[in-house]
Chains A and B, each alone.
Chain A
Amino acid sequence: MTQYGSPAPETLALHAGQSPDPAFGARATPIYFTAGYVFPDADHAAALFNHERPGHVDTRLSNPTNAVLEERVAALEGGIGAIALASGQAALHVAIVTLMGAGHHIVASRSLCGAARNLLAHTLPRFGVRTTFVDPRRPDEWRDAIRPETRLLFGEALGNPGLEVLDIPAVAAIAHARRVPLLVDATLVTPCLQRPLSLGADLVLHSATEFLGGHGVAVGGLLVDGGRFDWEQSGLFPTLTEPYDGFHGMDFTEESPVAAFLLRARCEALPDFGACLSPMNAFQILQGIETLPLRMRAHVANARVVAAHLARQALVARVAYPGLPTHPDHELASRLLPDGTGPVLSFELTGGREAGRAFIESLKVFSHLANIGEAKSLVSHPASTTHSRLSASGLAATGIGEGTVRLSVGLEHVDDLVEDLDRGLYAADRVARG
């Protein structure tokens, strides 16, 4: 810890948000597996509902175990606070519904994970919220797509599965010039590799199911507020700047100019939409975060070796990994992600869909599933799984080919991973040769 600075990520990952349990001295974070909390008396109950005392009313709104997770991730990201949610998708949904309603508009990177893209492209339009998708590498497209009704810019720190590096400072400047915030999905980088809030983003979300947990046993999401966006000065966010009848006429920016977004999200989105996180899942994600800095270093070291190995294979048309000098965003990645470009990479097999299928089915160490971000190495074929709902042109627009394979490089010994990939390449080669 510097003299007046914040503790290092390794320390925050183990301690932030938690003091030893005052009741029994438990060192581990207790799991408060309860739906509700007993009020000491009627006045205390009224005080909690009036927001004049901090505390817990109902686990749908807050829970002591979840609160540790929220504060820990907020501390790691350098934010003012966070809300734990049932999934990363829930975090995205809560961010959107807290900021806007029917008639409003989002500008989003076209390189998004399948579920996020589906929400924006197909589901939200039914409720009057439309999205324009842009090439994340083209600042002019972001700028040109903004309309008077735009209320949010949204992108992934690293595109999925193309690994496009989002130029957060550039996109944030475009957003702020039009008085709207930038939300960044930082799932693939985690706060150990990049802190988007320090680069100009206003809100950050994580699918905690992935690297934060790392074990692949608990689904969860986090929404972190940087506290810098001036909702009042923007003038575009009446949900935050005008009295809310659903909560005693509370004017959230009057209540807290800094924490207005989190206040509204907790007072409205959590109770109304019910997307709260189970305290058991919060505990499991906390267990993962304790080793996050160590794991990310090992993930990145393995991914670098795997990416370099694949880039040397004749059967591999291209490798999308910003850590490689051949990646179009390599220079940007060196600037924005100096500690590594994460454990996820994709590559294009010559031989198309059949070669991809043979490759995946012959692997023994890599597990074939749609997820990413576990300690174990994972492999998927986006064209037939996560992005299967896209048309051929839609696939092409997101940089996904028939032979694209996505890897989430785990923590096994890297020699075993390379051997497994060679096994897959051999099988793909046999298919390609007929």
Chain B
Amino acid sequence: MQLTVSGLPVFIYTGGQIFVPARPVVVLLHGAAHDHSVWNFQARHLARHGFSVLAPDLPGHGRSGGAPLASIEALAGWLAALLDAAGVRRAALAGHSMGSLVALQAAAQFPDRITQLILLGSVAPMPVAEPLLSAAHVDRAAAHAMINHWSYTFASQLGASAVPGISLMGLNRRLMERQGDSVLAIDLGACNAYENGLAAAAAVRCPTLLLCADRDQMTPRRAVKPLHEALAGVADGARMISIPRAGHAMLAEAPDAVGNAIRSFLTRR
């Protein structure tokens, strides 16, 4: 569906179902140089199981208008405006990579609006390797190759996709190519510059789940510890689940495991 947020058009994928604000709402936030389509399987799964799904293309990404926002804080503010535009008072947030930082910041900034928080492939801080940052500015193809190399397991790099007939790395390369020239550099810059992650985590009170892929090279499991510890204020502590045989691109590499984990967390009593 299409909404206007802060005067600009925003495309929102709703998982193949009509959006009904009265149902439990879950917002799915994509990562750098991506769009809503990375969430297809999980969005459709949640939508068929009674959730109202909002998987937006962030500003300047995919079908959404405007320019990419240059900071995680700005994206969190935009997210609140998006909820307003959709007529949603409270929602669960799930974010992948850069999207996880947006979700984390929003959960801290607007605690009364966020019911649950799910962080996938997340660390705080989220420093971006200098060669990747540099390539994002001057050689996008090289940056895309690095991202693919570090985001997918070796099995995926040779193929063996969970989706019949689809080359996951080929699909991701084209998806990144479709974004505007400066999108990747701005997104990575926003991740790299975000210094408020641990403070935001300390302020979070809603139930929180960390989904870590066991072969993630971009945000490796061992680097998640500071964020996990900073979420100590969450009731019962933040839960952490490891997704086996998947890398940073866990949404594509392990779509069922990720979808099951999110739904299970959102529906637990």
A residues neighboring B (CB under 8 Å): 3-7, 11-12, 15-19, 46-47, 50-56, 62-64, 66-68, 70-72, 74-75, 78-84, 226-228, 230, 232, 248-250, 254-259, 262, 266
Please state if A15 and B158 are interface contacts (CB–CB under 8 Å): yes
Q: How far is the CA of A175 from the CA of B255 in the complex (A)?
A: 36
Q: Main SS of the interface on chain B?
A: helix
Main secondary structure of the interface of A (DSSP, over half): loop
B155 within 8 A of A: yes
Contact check: which of A11, A79, A248 meets B167 at CB < 8 Å?
A: A79
- The answer for the CA separation of A3 and B146 in the assembled complex, in Å, is 9
Determine whether the beta carbon of B37 is less than 8 Å from that of A255: yes
Decide: B177 and A71 in contact? CB cutoff 8 A.
no
Bound together, the chains give a CA A74 to CA B166 distance in angstroms of: 8
Q: Which residue of B lies closest to A265 (CB)?
A: B165
- Give the residue name and chain of the B residue nearest to A64 (CB): B164
Knowing A47-B45, A50-B16, A53-B41 touch, does A75 contact B163 (C-beta < 8 A)? no
Give the contacts of B156-171 with A (CB-CB under 8 A): 157-167, 169-171
**Residue B62 at the chain A interface, CB threshold 8 Å:** yes
Of chain B, the residue at the smallest CB distance from A250 is B16
Cβ-based interface call for B239 (8 A):
no
B261 contacts chain A at the CB level, 8 A cutoff: no
Q: Are A71 and B174 in contact (CB under 8 A)?
A: no
Q: Does B44 contact A (CB under 8 A)?
A: yes
Residues in B with CB closer than 8 Å to A4 are 142, 145-146, 148-149
Q: Please indicate the chain B residues that have their CB under 8 angstroms from the CB of A266 in the complex.
A: 164-165
Given contacts A52-B48, A53-B256, A75-B170, contact A81 B165 (CB under 8 A): yes
Given A53-B41, A81-B167, A83-B165, the answer on whether A17 and B13 have CB atoms closer than 8 Å is: no
- Distance of A262 Cα from B37 Cα, bound (Å): 15
Cβ of B40 < 8 Å from any Cβ of A?
Answer: yes
Q: How far is the CB of A208 from chain B (nearest CB, A)?
A: 14
How many angstroms from the CA of A68 to the CA of B162 in the assembled complex? 11
Q: In the complex, what residues of A have CB within 8 A of residue B164's CB? A: 54-56, 62-64, 66-67, 70, 266
Kindly state the separation between the CA atoms of A5 and B141 in the bound complex, as whole angstroms: 10
- Whole-angstrom distance between the Cβ of B267 and the nearest chain A Cβ: 13
Q: A51-B41, A52-B41, A255-B37 are in contact. List 19 more A-B contacts (CB 8 A).
A: A4-B145, A18-B159, A18-B160, A46-B48, A51-B44, A52-B45, A53-B255, A53-B259, A55-B164, A70-B164, A71-B165, A74-B167, A75-B167, A79-B167, A81-B170, A227-B171, A255-B40, A257-B37, A266-B164
Give min CB distance, A332 to chain B, whole Å.
Answer: 26
Question: Shortest distance in angstroms between B249's beta carbon and chain A's nearest beta carbon?
Answer: 14
Of the residues A52, A80, A249, A257, contact of B166 by C-beta under 8 Å: A80
Chain A residue at minimum C-beta to C-beta distance from B1: A254
Q: Which of A80, A248, A256 contacts B16 (CB 8 A)?
A: A248
Name 13 A/B residue pairs within 8 A (Cβ), A-sorted. A11-B158, A50-B48, A52-B45, A52-B47, A53-B41, A53-B259, A55-B164, A66-B165, A71-B160, A79-B167, A81-B171, A228-B177, A256-B171
Q: How far does the Cβ of A73 sit from chain B's closest Cβ, in whole Å?
A: 10
Partner of A74, one of B44, B155, B165, B255: B165
**Residue numbers in A under 8 Å from B178 (CB-CB):** 230, 257-258
Given A54-B255, A79-B170, A227-B170, check contact A70 B165 (CB 8 Å): yes
**Assembly CA distance A46 to B49 (angstroms):** 11
Nearest residue, chain B, Cβ from A17: B159
Which residues of A have CB within 8 Å of B44?
50-52
Residues 13-27 of B at the A interface (beta carbon under 8 Å): 13, 15-16
- 8 closest cross-chain pairs (CB), A and B: A52-B44, A17-B159, A70-B165, A227-B174, A62-B164, A4-B145, A52-B45, A81-B166
Chain B residue nearest to A69 in the complex (CB): B165
CB distance from A256 to the nearest CB of B (A): 5
CA distance A292 to B163 in the complex (A): 25
Q: How far is the CB of B170 from chain A (nearest CB, A)?
A: 4
In the complex, are the beta carbons of B40 and A256 less than 8 A apart? Answer: yes
In the complex, residue of chain B having the shortest beta-carbon distance to the beta carbon of A230: B178
**A18 contact set on B, CB distance < 8 A:** 158-160
Bound complex: CA A135 to CA B32 (Å): 45
**B216 within 8 A of partner (CB):** no
Chain B contacts for A51, CB-based, 8 A: 16, 40-41, 44
Shortest distance in angstroms between A246's beta carbon and chain B's nearest beta carbon? 14
CB distance from B19 to the nearest CB of A (A): 13
B187 within 8 Å of A by Cβ? no
Contact with A along B156-196 (1 / 0, CB 8 A): 01111111111101110011011000000000000000000
Residues in A with CB closer than 8 Å to B162 are 54
Q: Which residues of A contact B148 (CB under 8 A)?
A: 4
Tell which of B142, B145, B159 has the most Cβ of chain A within 10 Å.
B159
- Distance (Å) between the CB of B93 and the closest chain A CB? 20
Tell me how far the C-beta of B178 lies from the nearest C-beta in chain A, rounded to whole angstroms: 6
With both beta carbons as reference points, the residue of chain B lying nearest to A15 in the complex is identified as: B158
Q: With A and B bound together, what is the CA distance between A70 and B63 in angstroms?
A: 29
Known contacts A47-B45, A50-B48, A248-B16, A258 near B175 by CB under 8 Å: yes
Inter-subunit contact B165/A84 (CB<8 Å): yes
Task: Please name the residue on chain B nearest to A11 by beta carbon.
Answer: B158
* Complex contacts, B160 vs chain A, CB 8 Å: 17-19, 68, 71
Chain A positions within 8 Å of B42 at CB level: 52
Contact of B35 among A5, A82, A257 (CB under 8 A): A257
Q: Contacts of B15 on A, CB cut-off 8 Å?
A: 52
Bound together, the chains give a CA A4 to CA B147 distance in angstroms of: 9
In the bound complex, how far is the Cα of B48 from the Cα of A227, in angstroms? 28
B169 partner residues in chain A, CB cutoff 8 A: 6
The contact string, 1 if C-beta is below 8 Å from chain A, for chain B 61-81, is: 011000000000000000000
A258 near B174 with CB under 8 A, answer yes
Shortest CB distance B48–A (Å): 5
The answer to whether A75 touches B171 (Cβ under 8 A) is no
> Which residue of chain A has its CB nearest to the CB of B166?
A81
Q: Report the separation of the CA atoms of residues A54 and B45 in the bound assembly, to the nearest whole angstrom.
A: 11
